[in-house]
Structure 1
């Protein structure tokens, strides 16, 4: 087996490997402790933190479909005060690389979240949730998205990357990426869940308490690969994190080949809480079997004529 250097660069920050959790799938990481070492992952992306505590949407909040999972939590959480008091310190104590997802309902809220998170010890990066709620236009409109990123980047200290998590539909994801990078984003996360809905077979009523939710899992993997491919092709110098339906090491490799520097594992965690660690090992094996020695050599390789891999 060929030795592999799994380290990767996330907008200037070196990670030991490119596999992270996805926002909302493991709270702030504490739930994963019985199953894996959070410090061994490339990063732990927290649930999206809001300014004030939120009770979230009424249950049920998750329903399995034939091709993925529909979820709608309404961003339940302790608010920024509770997060900074208990959840972030837990990650820091375990030497995990904390990528803090933030979600606001106004520019003022985003600015306050950015200031408080950015000035807290132990934050590796800030992920700006531009796709919540699912019917919001912020993450799909270049102008609106750039306004949010501008205030976040202004209040997050330099040296801490700001990543914009974008929606994959309506406007060209390249146009939105170009706008948020111009506004100060150090990279983008592609892509957010896709709005969806399901009807309960028993009640013949909406299956989710919030009626609509975000579709994630296998159904959106090909869409995520396309988004990553398009952005890397148009803007090859922009840092991209790929997320959507990652279940195996090859799924992760596929996103790296399309142009991602890192990937996030989300829905799979509900089925297999140890999956992020397993996917790290599987990715290493996928690279070793192909005599590829560095993640850096793989990023975007599918765009090059010599990109074909056995």
Structure 2
């Protein structure tokens, strides 16, 4: 069998394919179609210290080459996730990356503290695109000083590896990554969605403002993965517009150690199993000894 296993933060994952946060619910939702054990690791919906109701509808809007979502970070809260949903991953022996967020630095810290180390937890993924209500609503991830401080604070309360999920809504992504790296971050997820909106011409209304994902984001995310993976000695997880195994290969070749698939699942719920299969077939065709052998091999 082709060797798709990857090592991430001293954990061996069966393959490099994960879901993007929020795109597989709490894991149970996909089980009637395929098992979560198909994943190298499951990435949770963004979890907060307390349950959060999210935004009113409409929450999702299709575009020609992408998807706009305005879910508003709805989630059951970190405690309920571990009480009610985490047992599925124990039963399936599936590693988990816990995506979490807060609206203040204190909420980030408190949420991270509530997540106890477990043999199945690979890392904590910090969503740094949330507004800082104490600083006029600026996104944490846009300010290098805020990024440094909040990453350092979270690292100070947990022994679990910490991943910073960065926003593309910045002038200098490397500056933001540098701030997180100096604060001790263990890895990066690149990239989060782009801010977007829709105008209904007939009604002259704006029905939705949200985050743009899907194929339109892929070139932006690829550039980010290449630049950050060649600049910092920590693993990068690629995300943004991965629709098939060729897209997945492009992220790996650009320098990603692993990857996350999101929008593709809404178009084809079997996209992730197909990508895993396609990666195995590629290794067989090219005679590569392992998936790790192609990571970072793209050259300009």
TM-score (norm 1): 0.90
Measure, in 2, the Cα distance between the counterparts of 1:41 and 1:285: 17
Cross-structure match for 1:142 = 144
**Superposition pairs for residues 143-162 of structure 1, below 5 Å?**
143-157=145-159, 160-162=160-162
TM-aligned CA deviation for residue 59 of structure 1: 0.5
Q: What number of residue pairs does the alignment pair up?
A: 296
Q: Quickly say closer, same or farther: Cα 1:228–1:23, change in 2 above 3 A.
A: same
Residue ranges of structure 2 left out of the alignment (5+ in a row): none
Cross-structure match for 1:308 = none
Measure, in 2, the Cα distance between the counterparts of 1:288 and 1:173: 36
Task: Compute the RMSD of aligned alpha carbons.
Answer: 1.8
The answer to whether the aligner puts 1:246 opposite 2:242 as a matched pair is yes
TM-score (norm 2): 0.93
Other structure's SS at 2:236 match? strand
Contact in 1 for aligned 2:9/2:122 (Cα 8 Å): no
TM-aligned CA deviation for residue 221 of structure 1: 0.6
1:84-142 deviation line (CA, Å, top 9, x unaligned): 21122222222221111001011111111111113466322110001135974311222
TM-aligned CA deviation for residue 62 of structure 1: 0.4
Residue ranges of structure 1 left out of the alignment (5+ in a row): 306-310
Measure, in 2, the Cα distance between the counterparts of 1:201 and 1:34: 39
Measure, in 2, the Cα distance between the counterparts of 1:18 and 1:122: 16
**Superposition pairs for residues 208-219 of structure 1, below 5 Å?**
208=208, 212-219=209-216
Moved more, 85-94 or 254-263: 85-94
Q: Quickly say closer, same or farther: Cα 1:201–1:35, change in 2 above 3 A.
A: farther
Q: Quickly say closer, same or farther: Cα 1:251–1:136, change in 2 above 3 A.
A: farther
Contact in 2 for aligned 1:165/1:189 (Cα 8 Å): yes
Contact in 1 for aligned 2:199/2:206 (Cα 8 Å): yes
Measure, in 1, the Cα distance between the counterparts of 2:131 and 2:151: 17
Measure, in 1, the Cα distance between the counterparts of 2:269 and 2:138: 30
**Superposition pairs for residues 1-310 of structure 1, below 5 Å?**
4-119=2-117, 122-133=120-131, 136-157=138-159, 160-208=160-208, 212-235=209-232, 237-303=233-299
Measure, in 2, the Cα distance between the counterparts of 1:41 and 1:107: 31
Measure, in 2, the Cα distance between the counterparts of 1:120 and 1:286: 34
Contact in 1 for aligned 2:251/2:259 (Cα 8 Å): yes
Measure, in 1, the Cα distance between the counterparts of 2:295 and 2:9: 13
Contact in 2 for aligned 1:99/1:125 (Cα 8 Å): yes
Measure, in 2, the Cα distance between the counterparts of 1:12 and 1:121: 11
Measure, in 1, the Cα distance between the counterparts of 2:80 and 2:257: 31
Q: Quickly say closer, same or farther: Cα 1:186–1:274, change in 2 above 3 A.
A: same
Q: Quickly say closer, same or farther: Cα 1:63–1:4, change in 2 above 3 A.
A: same
